[in-house]
Copies of this chain bind each other. A is one copy, B any other.
Amino acid sequence: MHLANVIGRASGTLKDPPMTGIKLLVVQPVDGAGNETGPSEIVTDAVGAGIGDTVLVATGSAARQPAAMRGVATDASAIMIVDDVAIQD
């Protein structure tokens, strides 16, 4: 899994039906120290995250483990709002 900062929202009208009502977040992946690690990506929101939050992103079939994501064609979900990352020097 990786950390990511929520930086925006994405939406569309034409979509696979189970995606209806699911919030899509634009997130910037970061490492444990907050450095950007790659391009922004789109994730489904399983925890009520908003812009400015740091979230934990689960990818692959893990993205569909949250109850609200069963049957949704998602490969990446925000599954936690991260409060604390403590790295030991």
A residues adjacent to B (C-beta < 8 A): 1-3, 7-16, 18-19, 24, 26, 31-33, 35, 37, 39-44, 46-49, 51, 56, 58-66, 71-77, 79-88
Contacts and interface: CB of A to CB of B under 8 A. Distances in A.
A87 B10 CA distance: 9
A66 B1 contact: no
Contact of A62 (B1, B75, B84, B85): B75
Q: How many copies does the complex hold?
A: 5
A81 B13 contact: yes
If over half of A's interface residues share one DSSP class (helix, strand or loop), that class is named, otherwise mixed; here it is mixed
Nearest to A28: B32
B2 A42 contact: yes
